[in-house]
Homo-oligomer: A and B are copies of this chain.
């Protein structure tokens, strides 16, 4: 590109600091504003100018500085994604989809993971300084937190969370409907004795699944259903089954688990510790439809969350809230898709 080296006019491509629009302007013999306009789609620039500037930019290896741009445009082109526990098998899929879609929309992702849901305070303090254009939160925020978003006019979309007390946009999988589908199928298959292995009490989704299950069972005339467990882990499923069996009274007919991983733990425990094999001796259902749910050793009956659609909805909602701040809040609830497998006797 540079041809033979000319000692007094070295192309500063290897110089210390990044190339700025001024460097390009000087090199092309035009003004800085011209350079800026060349990088703005739809700006008023002649093609002669554009060609000159682009050539110079190319030659110098110029990349517009997004930081400087953000400062003046008041648009960081960043959105923050808050995720509570990435180790839950379900979330990596969501995160991958989200970043993919956001990237495609030209937005960059600032990732924040919360190990404890209570960490929200600290994390939000880290979010504000970056003047993100919006936030997708799959973590528990309080009404006070949501108020902060309002005050700062930062668009927020909840993913699989919501708050009844305040008006927030959200995308959720219909937990209640999913649980109903599961229970009804189990009931039709003749199961009358149930147990529930619940998730963490501080997970809205988890609590909802548990509550929905209890309600539906009650509607069907089944009460005093034992509820065990307290998190989303394999161990929780595994140990809860042991507890359940130790309590005497024989095994239940069917176990409704907080999610797939718990169901997998339960299945293993039934088989390994108690010699009960699904679907012959026991029925177990999960929730989420993660990859391992379809592994042959488990082949879960579960509700698959339509992650594609949900992430797509979350992203498009957020982007339109960014474009149009007065957009009314909206909740979008997607039904889960039933997957039947050999982990349960089940009648659709």
Q: Which residues of A contact B (CB under 8 A)?
A: 13-14, 16-18, 61, 63-71, 74, 76, 78, 81, 85-87, 89, 91-93, 95-96, 99-100, 103, 108-113, 115, 125-126, 128-131, 151-153, 234, 238, 264-265, 267-269, 271-272, 291-292, 295-298
Copies of this chain in the oligomer = 2
Q: Are B131 and A67 in contact (CB under 8 A)?
A: yes
Please give, as numbers and ranges, the residues of chain B lying within 8 Å of A86 by CB-CB distance.
92-93, 95-96
| Residue numbers in B under 8 Å from A91 (CB-CB) | 92
Q: Say whether, besides A108-B130, A268-B297, A272-B296, A96 and B87 are in contact (CB < 8 Å).
A: yes
Q: How far is the CB of A288 from chain B (nearest CB, A)?
A: 14
Q: A103-B126, A130-B108 are in contact. Are A18 and B96 (CB under 8 A)?
A: no
| Docked pose: A17 CA to B153 CA in angstroms | 9
B71 near A67 with CB under 8 A, answer yes
Residues B298 and A152 in contact, CB atoms below 8 Å apart: no
Task: For A108, give its contact among B110, B272, B292 (CB under 8 Å).
Answer: B110
Which residue of chain B has its CB nearest to the CB of A85? B96
For A150, give the chain B residue with the smallest CB separation. B14
By a CB distance below 8 angstroms, the chain B residues around A151 are 13-14, 61
Please tell me if the beta carbons of A291 and B129 are within 8 angstroms of each other in the complex: no
Contact A16–B153 (Cβ < 8 Å): yes
Complex interface: chain B residues within 8 A of A298 (CB): 297
**Given B65, B110, B128, which contacts A129 in the complex, CB threshold below 8 Å?**
B65
- Measured in the bound complex, the distance between the Cα atoms of B272 and A213 in whole Å is 33
**Could you say which of A111, A267, A292 has the most chain B C-beta atoms within 10 Å of its C-beta?**
A111
A247 to B14, CA, bound (A): 57
**Nearest Cβ distance between residue A240 and chain B, in whole angstroms?**
15
CB A148 to nearest CB in B, in angstroms, measures 9
A150 to chain B, nearest CB (A): 9
Q: Which residues of B contact A268 (CB under 8 A)?
A: 295-297
A51 and B129 CA atoms in complex are apart in Å by 21
B99 engages A92 (CB within 8 Å): no
21 pairs across A/B with beta carbons < 8 Å?
Answer: A13-B151, A14-B151, A16-B153, A18-B152, A61-B151, A63-B125, A63-B129, A65-B129, A66-B131, A67-B71, A69-B129, A81-B111, A86-B93, A86-B95, A89-B89, A95-B113, A99-B113, A100-B113, A111-B111, A271-B296, A271-B297
Residues of chain B with a CB closer than 8 A to A112's CB: 99, 103, 109
A17, A89, A92, A267, most chain B CB atoms within 10 A: A92
Q: What is the CB-to-nearest-CB distance from A251 to chain B, in angstroms, rounded to a whole number?
A: 18
CA distance A95 to B85 in the complex (A): 11
Nearest Cβ in chain B — how far from A343, in angstroms?
A: 12
* Complexed CA–CA distance, A7 and B238 (Å): 62
Residues of B within 8 A of A74 (CB): 17
A81: chain B residues at CB < 8 Å are 111
Bound Cα distance A145, B81 (Å): 27
Contacts of A292 in B (CB 8 A): 292
* Contact present for A131 and B65 (CB under 8 Å): yes
Verify B264–A295 contact, CB threshold 8 A.
yes
The minimal Cβ–Cβ distance linking A37 to chain B, given in whole angstroms, is 17
